[in-house]
């Protein structure tokens, strides 16, 4: 794992000045086209960044999303202290997710949308893959040294922006990854439309989301970190409607390595409930 000093040197847009973007004069708001070469630094206080945030919230679920993002930051601050995750090997975890979303990643320009602090691309990076990340909490993750990665991999540049309007040119990417994110955003159809816009035709998109048995969805209003609750078929229909063809799918019950004692089950009650009503839906889809 990288030490704090190495983590702090991750090239994150947010909080580091806007000059390289302005020089190119290509950053338009919202969702305009900067090239990936312009992928440098951007201050979170800059009006342009603020406009991206406003764009993400408009027409979406602004209040719910802000709450979800606060819950998200809280989760990542303490996740390694949770006994359920303490011993998780991120390398093994991501290899499994890659396998469940259709096998080896392709090479080429690859964007991890909603990459979080422990992106798959920080652990699984085949030869010829050029990694980029985007996450509205990037600045928090970097500032608080929450980013984890394999020591032998170069840090990837991460844009501190939401995905409802992405600053990339049309058809500029070979592959997009969006793991455990679409059910956390403000406006999922818009994020899918943006992914469709920036992916080359035939490019692949890997997805996984938590899905739920249909009957339980109306009781999930207390589930703050999620802005959407879909069942597998609803989610699949949404992705297909966004202009993607499903080439691989898998749905499996949600599992946690829970203590088997009654006290353990009570301590981790929400997790225990999840094993009864929640699933993980994995997809590999192709941009039409
Ligand atoms: C559950 S975490 C998953 C992180 C990572 N993909 C992983 O699997 O470890 C959800 C991530 O989605 C990000 N997110 C939420 N809303 C977003 C949006 N509108 N655009 C892009 N990312 C978003 C959050 O900041 C958070 O890092």
Global pTM value: 0.86
Domains and CATH numbers, the chain: 4-287 (3.40.50.150)
CB of 136 within 6 A of ligand 1: the answer is: yes
Cα torsion for 167, 168, 174, 180, to the nearest 10°?
Answer: 10
Task: Decide the pairing of beta strands 244-253 and 278-287.
Answer: antiparallel
Q: Give the helix/strand (H/E) hosting 174.
A: strand 173-179
Neighbouring C-alpha atoms within 13 Å toward the C-beta of 121: 30
Q: What confidence score (pLDDT) does residue 230 get?
A: 95
Q: Of all protein residues, whose CA lies closest to atom 14 belonging to ligand 1?
A: 114
For residues 194 and 163, is the Cβ–Cβ distance under 8 A?
Answer: yes
Place of tokens 């893959």: 129
Q: Give the helix/strand (H/E) hosting 113.
A: strand 108-113
CB of 116 within 6 A of ligand 1: the answer is: yes
Q: How many Cβ atoms from other residues are within 10 Å of residue 288's Cβ?
A: 11
Q: What confidence score (pLDDT) does residue 269 get?
A: 80
State the first-to-last Cα distance of the chain, in angstroms, to the nearest integer.
Answer: 38
Q: What confidence score (pLDDT) does residue 58 get?
A: 74
Q: For residues 104 and 235, give the distance between their C-alpha atoms in angstroms, rounded to a whole number.
A: 23
Q: What confidence score (pLDDT) does residue 49 get?
A: 67
CB of 203 within 6 A of ligand 1: the answer is: no
CB of 121 within 6 A of ligand 1: the answer is: no
Give 77 Cα–ligand 1 centroid separation in angstroms: 14
What residues contact 212, with CB distance under 8 A and at least 6 apart?
220, 229, 230, 231, 277, 278, 279
CB of 120 within 6 A of ligand 1: the answer is: no
The minimum-distance atom of ligand 1 relative to the CA of 141 is: 27
CB of 166 within 6 A of ligand 1: the answer is: no
Q: What confidence score (pLDDT) does residue 36 get?
A: 46
Q: Which tokens belong to 273?
A: 């409930």
Mutate to test the pocket of ligand 1, among 31, 64, 97, 116 (most ligand atoms within 8 A of CB): 116
CB of 135 within 6 A of ligand 1: the answer is: yes
CB of 165 within 6 A of ligand 1: the answer is: no
CB of 164 within 6 A of ligand 1: the answer is: yes
Give 205 Cα–ligand 1 centroid separation in angstroms: 16
- Please report, in tens digits, the pLDDT of each residue of the chain (288 residues total): 444 443 333 333 433 333 333 333 333 333 444 444 444 445 566 666 677 777 777 777 888 888 898 899 999 999 999 888 888 899 999 999 999 999 999 999 899 999 999 999 999 999 999 888 888 888 788 778 888 999 898 888 777 788 988 777 778 889 999 999 999 999 999 999 999 998 999 999 999 999 998 777 777 777 888 999 999 999 999 999 999 999 999 999 988 777 777 777 778 787 777 777 889 999 999 999
């Amino acid at each position: 794992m990288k030490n704090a000093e190495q983590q702090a040197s991750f090239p994150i847009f947010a909080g580091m000045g806007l000059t390289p973007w302005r020089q190119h004069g290509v950053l338009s708001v919202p969702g305009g086209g900067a090239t990936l070469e312009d992928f440098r630094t951007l201050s979170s206080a800059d009006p342009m960044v603020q406009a991206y945030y406003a764009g993400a919230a408009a027409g979406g679920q602004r209040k719910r999303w802000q709450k979800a993002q606060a819950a998200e930051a809280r989760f990542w601050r303490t996740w390694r202290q949770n006994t359920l995750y303490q011993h998780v090997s991120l390398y093994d975890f991501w290899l499994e997710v890659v396998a469940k979303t259709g096998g080896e990643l392709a090479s080429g320009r690859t964007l991890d949308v909603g990459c979080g602090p422990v992106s798959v691309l920080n652990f699984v990076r085949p030869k010829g893959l050029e990694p980029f990340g985007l996450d509205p909490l990037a600045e928090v993750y970097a500032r608080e040294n929450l980013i984890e990665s394999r020591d032998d991999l170069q840090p990837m540049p991460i844009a501190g922006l939401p995905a409802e309007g992405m600053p990339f040119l049309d058809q500029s990417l070979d592959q997009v990854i969006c793991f455990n994110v679409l059910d956390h955003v403000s406006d999922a159809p818009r994020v899918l439309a943006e992914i469709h816009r920036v992916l080359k035709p035939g490019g692949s998109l890997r997805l996984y989301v938590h899905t739920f048995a249909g009957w339980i969805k109306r009781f999930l209003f207390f589930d703050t970190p999620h802005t959407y609750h879909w069942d597998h078929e609803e989610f699949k229909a949404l992705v297909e409607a966004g202009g993607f063809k499903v080439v691989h799918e898998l749905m499996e019950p949600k599992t946690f390595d829970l203590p088997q004692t009654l006290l353990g089950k009570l301590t981790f009650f929400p997790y225990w409930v999840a094993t009864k009503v929640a699933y993980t839906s994995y997809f590999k889809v192709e941009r039409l």
